[in-house]
Amino acid sequence: MVELYSKIVQRSFDDHGQIPEVTDPYLRAVVLARGVDSCSELNLSLRSMIHYSSMKGINDACILLYDSLIRRLNIVIVGDYDVDGATSTALAVRVLKRFGYGNVRYFIPDRFTMGYGLSAEIVDIVHQQFNAQLIITVDNGITSFDGARRASELGIRLLITDHHLSSEELPDADVIVNPNQEGCGFPSKTLAGVGVIFYVMAALRAFLIQKGWFEATGLMVPNMSSYLDLVAVGSIADVVNFDCNNRIMIKHGIEQIRRGTGNPCFPIILFRSSRNPAQASESDICHLIAPLLNAVGRIDNMSLSVECLLSDDPVQINSIVDELQNVNRRRREMENQMRVTAIDTIMHNNLEQFNSIVLFDPSYHQGIVGIVASRLKELYSRPIVVFAPSTDGELKGSARSVAGLNLKLVLESMLKSHPDLIVRFGGHAMAAGLTIKSDRLCEFTEIFRNEVSMVIGSENSERIVYTDGSLPADHLTVDFVRTIKSLGPWGSNFEYPVFEGEFIIQKFKFLNENRHLRLAVSLRGSHYEFCAMLFNIPEEMINMDLWHRMVRLCYRPELNNWKDNFYLQLIVENMDFVE
């Protein structure tokens, strides 16, 4: 959504001269402003990936998994009901079967009746249904104390693989692999759940080679890079930080999708969305693949998306995609209605005056609160918590944060000072899920505001657009944008460059029932014209006099492909009028 009149801040950096290969001053400024210290951080070859040996517990995990293979134990993967959980589950099932494990099942909890993580109830279910002898959690488990105890009581071995932040106490599992557990020396702490299970499987592959397993069985040794498309999709969907290690996996995962050599469902989803899989991008994963897979987990059961990721049959995949698209349409309708209701509540109650916003309405759907919280956080630039009704007099909520506020630390502080305020919670610095008693909503709201005030102050947050400065006209070219894209992938904490400049509007046209605006603009002092697009414009723009107005644009230079011809397009994120 394009914004008007946001605060513009140019990214700062120190030019320490450690990246001599990047000679263009504008590109150099971009990478330095993102904390790149050396050219090694721009070397995204697979050989530059961090080795698994520094990850705590990973060797013990290999021993446990090898013992389970030799003894032919029944293995159940317990995943989560988001895209990270679905891709983690699919990767674990696919790789273990390729390794020769014969008894591998999976189970995705129902988010509405079972909640998050490995509960005692889930352990009982997989014990009864699948005679589970080894449970592997993916993208969950680090706070599953009851589930771990129940597994121990039933004699079920437990391997927890997770990436969420842990408390001081850990569940009593046979093995825990989590780069964020205390004492883990793995340098990258920002792996998604699918990244963690990928590392476990990569280590297991090496372990099995050492044991002579593939040679003895005649099985082909799998190329683990062929599963990086699952890692890319799960990581982007979970909005992990794009540190160097994650960028390596995401880059090669996207290349798998482009070549059509990875999971068969991704090219089909893109083709069905009128996108050429050979030109797949981070944006396609973020806006096309992830929402489609995620929709069913929000309002139904995520197992349908897992089945899509596990199938190799194009006919079956297309049939599942039909179902996913129907569910996604329902999800969008529900989201739009919830967002409208939420904005009305904020405006009617003047909640914009506060440094954070907490919302509840009986009509809210607990599967949609997360995405609505994300939308509202972007719109109001402050921490948002959205609650929906649950059962037993409880409210289930989803929280989203802004830069400088660690949600997990805030919720932990609230729990210490008011032990019975929050029934349960879990998550990251920027996103969390939580449950409270319905009669504690007002109390929670007040305490949350106070905690936020202690961290970021009591003033209203102001939306800030960070830019990488101005570009001259000779850099607004297709070749320059291709060079930018070659430095990617771009994402969280390694954001795609945004530039600013003063332009004169030469032509304009409203599109799609006045929702979008296309401009022909010339850079001030230059006769070159460029196409600029403003998406989801504010209503106040519709009646504005734009003809030959001087405007300051904050924009992303992108490439638009029309009939196999590429041309430059400026995607506007903020516009100010220059008097």
**pLDDT higher than threshold 90 for residue 14:** no
Torsion of CA 474, 478, 484, 488, to 10 degrees: 180
> Which of 495-511 are b and which e, b meaning 16 or more Cβ less than 10 Å from the residue's Cβ?
bbbbbbbebbbeebeee
Is 539 exposed, middle or buried (CB count within 10 Å of its CB: 0-12, 13-18, 19+)?
Answer: exposed
Give pLDDT, residue 156: 98
Measuring CA to CA, which residue among 137, 131, 140 is closest to residue 158? 137
| pLDDT, average across residues 467-479 | 95
CA angle 375, 80, 491 (to 5 degrees): 45
Amino acid residing at 563:
K
State the pLDDT at residue 562.
76
> Residue range 494-523: average pLDDT?
93
1 confidence band (pLDDT: 50, 70, 90): low
Distance from C-alpha of 332 to C-alpha of 329, rounded to nearest angstrom: 5
pLDDT tens digits for 533-575?
999 888 888 888 888 899 999 999 999 887 778 899 999 999 9
Reading the block at residue 183, the tokens are: 């004492």
Q: What is the model's pLDDT at position 458? A: 57
CA 441 to chain CA centroid, Å, is 28
pLDDT above 90 (res 37): no
Work out the average pLDDT over 477-505: 95
Domains annotated for the chain, with CATH where assigned, are 3-8+465-577 (2.40.50.460), 47-323 (3.90.1640.30), 349-456 (3.10.310.30)
Q: Please tell me the distance from the alpha carbon of residue 138 to that of residue 149, in angstroms, as a whole number.
A: 18
294 pLDDT exceeds 70? yes
DSSP letter string, 511-542:
ETTTTEEEEEEEETT---EEEEEE-S--GGGT
Considering only 18-32, 233-247, 360-374, which range has the smallest mean pLDDT? 18-32
- Which whole number is the average pLDDT over 366-379? 92
List of residues 6+ apart from 562 with CB closer than 8 A: none
* pLDDT tens-place string over residues 39-59: 888 999 999 999 999 999 999
User: For 409-430, what is the mean pLDDT?
Assistant: 88
- Predicted confidence band of residue 408 (pLDDT cuts 50, 70, 90): confident
Sign, CA dihedral 46-49-52-53, equals: positive
Q: What is the mean pLDDT of the chain?
A: 93
Alpha-carbon distance 467 to 556, whole Å? 9
Per-residue model confidence (pLDDT) at position 545: 82
pLDDT tens digits, 313-327: 999 999 999 999 999
pTM score: 0.92
Longest dimension (CA), the chain: 77
pLDDT digits (tens, 9 = 90+) for 202-211: 999 999 999 9
Residue 445 makes CB contacts below 8 A (sequence gap 6+) with 358
Please tell me the distance from the alpha carbon of residue 254 to that of residue 279, in angstroms, as a whole number. 9
Per-residue pLDDT band for 460 (boundaries 50, 70, 90) equals low
The pLDDT of 285-310, averaged and rounded, is: 94
**% of the chain exceeding 90 in pLDDT:** 77
pLDDT band per the 50, 70, 90 thresholds, residue 234: very high
**Burial (Cβ within 10 Å: 0-12, 13-18, ≥19) of residue 121:** middle
Element housing 317 (H / E) = helix 314-348
Residue 378 has pLDDT above 90, yes or no: no
**pLDDT band for position 2 (cuts 50, 70, 90):** low
546/531 Cα distance (integer angstroms):
15
- What pLDDT shows up at residue 21? 81
- Cα(262)–Cα(224) distance, integer angstroms: 11
391 pLDDT band (50/70/90 cuts)? confident
What is the distance between the alpha carbons of residues 528 and 474, in angstroms, rounded to a whole number? 9
Q: What is the pLDDT of residue 331?
A: 93
